[in-house]
Structure 1
Amino acid sequence: MNFIVNERLQWKDLKPKGAPFEYPEDIKILYNDWPYGIDEDIAHLVIWTKFELEEDAVTGRITPEVSKEIDDYVRKTFASRINPDHLIWFSNWRSLKSVHAVEHFHVMLYRPDEAFIKEITNGDIPMSAKI
């Protein structure tokens, strides 16, 4: 958690400024440091949030309301620059998350414009590319 918060996200704290998706400061888009070994034409991004993504206590999956909030955010953030058919997002349920300490979900983009990716990730480079 310390590495992700301090080094990757460079957040001083995890306290959200406001409601989910209300403030850009509560969200950071970075490359997935260790992508799933998928097609090289797919950019695998992680959207980290300071706010909770409410889950169903029984299934560990996000609630339908949160799913809609994420979908709205993803469409607003990416759909104007990416063909909607080349865009998908998902949130791992609790038992599959590799990082539990900081909320996040995944976005995959097929053949995105590199300048756009550089812009939304603030020039991020995944750890897998640095090693």
Structure 2
Amino acid sequence: MAFIMNERLRWTSLTPQGRLFEFEDDYKILYNDWPYGVDEKIVHLVIWTKFPLEEVEGTDELTSEAQQAIEGFVQRTFCSKVKPEHVIWFKNWASLKSVHAIEHFHVMLYDPDPDFIKFITNGDAPMASLVS
């Protein structure tokens, strides 16, 4: 958690300023540092959030409010630059998460414009690409 907070996110606090996706400082879009083994044309991003993504109690299912908020965010953020049929998002079940302490969900884009990805990630690069 310390590495992600300090080095990747550069956040000093996980306290959100507002509601889901209300303030840009409450989330950050970065590459997945260790992406799944998928087609090289697929860009795998992680959206880290300071706010919780509420789940239905006793399940790993997002509440309808959280699902709608994420869907709206994904539509506004990605589908204006990438064909909607080339965009998917998902939130891993707790048992599949590699990072539990900081809320996040995944977005995968098929063959997006590299300039758009550079812009949306603020020039980020996955850690896997920095090691050889």
| TM band (smaller chain) | over 0.9
Deviation of 1:61 (Å) = 2.2
Q: Distance in 1 between matches of 2:90 and 2:111?
A: 18
Q: Distance in 1 between matches of 2:61 and 2:92?
A: 7
Aligned positions of 1:46-125 closer than 5 A:
46-125=46-125
Structure 1: runs of 5 or more not aligned = none
CA contact (8 A) 1:34 1:126 kept: yes
Name the residue aligned to 1:128.
128
Q: Distance in 1 between matches of 2:92 and 2:57?
A: 14
Structure 2: runs of 5 or more not aligned = none
Q: Which runs of 4+ in 1 moved over 2 A?
A: none
Deviations 1:34-76 (A, max 9, x none): 0011100000000000000001221122112211110000000
Deviation of 1:127 (Å) = 0.4
Deviation of 1:94 (Å) = 1.5
Q: Distance in 1 between matches of 2:2 and 2:68?
A: 30
- What TM-score do you get using the length of structure 2 for normalisation? 0.97
The amino acid that maps onto 2:44 is H
CA contact (8 A) 1:42 1:111 kept: yes
Q: Distance in 2 between matches of 1:62 and 1:36?
A: 23
Q: Distance in 1 between matches of 2:42 and 2:101?
A: 26
Q: Distance in 1 between matches of 2:9 and 2:100?
A: 15
Provide the aligned C-alpha RMSD in A. Answer: 0.7
- Decide which moves more: 120-129 or 89-98: 89-98
Name the residue aligned to 2:25.
25
- What TM-score do you get using the length of structure 1 for normalisation? 0.97
Deviation of 1:112 (Å) = 0.3
Name the residue aligned to 1:6.
6
SS across alignment from 1:101: coil
- Identical counterparts, % of pairs: 61
